[in-house]
Amino acid sequence: MSVSTYMSRRQVLIGASATALAATLAACGSSDKKEGKSGEAVGQGDASQVDVVTWWQAGSEKDGLEALVKVFNAQFPKTKFANKAIAGGGGSQAKQKLAADLSAGNPPDTYQAHAGAELKDDIDAGYLQDVSKLYDEFKLKDAFPKTLMERLTVDGAIYSVPSNIHRNNVVWASVSVLKAAGLDPAKPAQTIDAWISDMEKIKAAGYTPITMGMAWTQMGLFESVLIADLGAEKYSGLFDGTTDWAGAEVTKAVEHYAKIVSFTDKSLYTEDWEPAIKPIMEGKAAYNVMGDWAVAGFNAAKKTAGTDYVYFPVPGTKGIFDFLADSFTLPEKAKHPGGAKNWLSCISSKEGQVAFNTVKGSIPARTDLTDEEKKKFSEYQRSAMEDFSKDTIVSSIAHGAALPAKASNAMGDALSKFAQGASDAKALQKALAEAYKAAQ
């Protein structure tokens, strides 16, 4: 069922089924601010270079970026790609540097962000250009699904161009560990309680039941538990005030989460996603909840789905797609606006999206792929395309779709404190409720 809701003030849609949204689109209206503040048309100017900030700096993420840059160089041989990637999964380092550079009036030509509420603060501060004219020029309005267009549209304006869609609520599991604990890898638990009882068995067999790394990976796990316990509609209500962060349903999710955290390996809490998922690849731990960029990590490590590892929606979230999309901006004061325009053209082109996403583990944001083009994707990715087209879509907190950066950062800090043992479940729930309130 549809779970359409709007964020207060900015009208950013945060929860919706992929099918029942046409009516809400009409509410987006049109903007009178279609041009950059300079008055020049969007993306006019120096195209000799493009400085691109991402956090795709290592491993399979770097491979994905390189595949994209190859297409870019072929499409725009006169624009030099300057790689300004900053290490740190989930943008853990990049976001701080970007915030400092933007406030100092020294932006890159384009930077990686997420479709949805995350960009609210940058938009409100006037850092970004409305790029909707580029959507007309590149003919993108019909290429992307409505559910994505709605998350990109803020008061009738659009401030970024998406390169891909990822799913956050996926469990990656080691076949050998599950078997050693007497569990059937083909029959995953269907509820959080059943999953916890499987974790007990895995612990008794002498393996680490589940791993998690630094704060944003903890948020990815926690939001999946929230979705399982609240369901899509009430989960989405957490972002428009219709579900109470201090209420009993969230208490239940926090308690489940606390139990799950008790099965994790503390020594990984400061690690990025790749070291945190490695014990699954090595047959030392059973589960890791991670966005589906993980499939690119398994591919790069030459692991085979079905034999070495299995994947399934976090128990209790089947039929729900916890969505996020990487999306690139065009800041005011960009030094090479023409270069940025070329980058946005490349990442949104069919060629760019196929080259990038086949390597990155994501699915293209474009929905106009031919069957031949779909065949280039892995079995996991084809299943994700199918799920995205029929599941209920909800927005990821950890990856910027659901809440402004201020709120999700504060929630990440609260989870980190909790994992380290510096707060209890009650204090965690209070801190989450306060983080939501403070960002309204």
Residues that bind ligand GAL (CB under 6 A): 55-56, 61, 89-91, 114, 166, 273, 291, 293, 324, 326, 399
Q: Which residues contact 243 (CB under 8 A, 6 or more apart)?
A: 230, 234, 235, 236, 237, 249, 250
Closer of 55 and 328 to ligand GAL (Cβ): 55
Measured from each CB, the residue nearest to ligand GAL is 89
CA atoms within 13 A on the CB side of 191: 5
> Measuring CA to CA, which residue among 431, 422, 410, 195 is closest to residue 313?
195
Nearest approach in angstroms of CB 168 to ligand GAL is 9
Residue 207 or 321: the one with the smaller Cβ distance to ligand GAL is 321
Please say which residue, 56 or 159, places its beta carbon nearer to ligand GAL: 56
Tokens 């308690």 -> residue:
255
Q: Which is nearer to ligand GAL, 132 or 408 (CB)?
A: 408
Report the nearest approach of ligand GAL to the CB of residue 163 (Å): 9
**CA pair distance 418, 427, nearest whole angstrom:** 8
Instruction: Pick the closer one to ligand GAL by CB: 237 or 352.
Output: 352
Q: Pick between residue 345 and residue 357 the one whose CB is nearest to ligand GAL.
A: 357
Q: Indicate the residue among 53 and 189 with the shorter CB distance to ligand GAL.
A: 53
Cα 307-272-172 angle, rounded to 5 deg: 25
**Least CB distance to ligand GAL at residue 361 (A):** 8
The answer to whether the beta carbons of residues 363 and 384 sit under 8 Å apart is yes
Sequence-ordered list of residues with C-beta below 8 angstroms from that of 140, at least 6 positions apart, any chain: 134, 161, 348
Q: What is the crossing angle of helices 425-438 and 405-419, to 10°?
A: 170
| Residues ≥6 apart with Cβ < 8 Å to 302 | none
Please, what is the minimum distance in Å from the beta carbon of residue 205 to ligand GAL?
Answer: 30
Contact 279, 211 (CB under 8 A): yes
Q: How far is the CB of 64 from ligand GAL (least distance, A)?
A: 8
Question: What count of other Cβ atoms lies within 10 Å of the Cβ of residue 139?
Answer: 9
CB of 324 to ligand GAL, least distance (A): 5
**Smallest separation, CB 293 to ligand GAL (Å):** 5
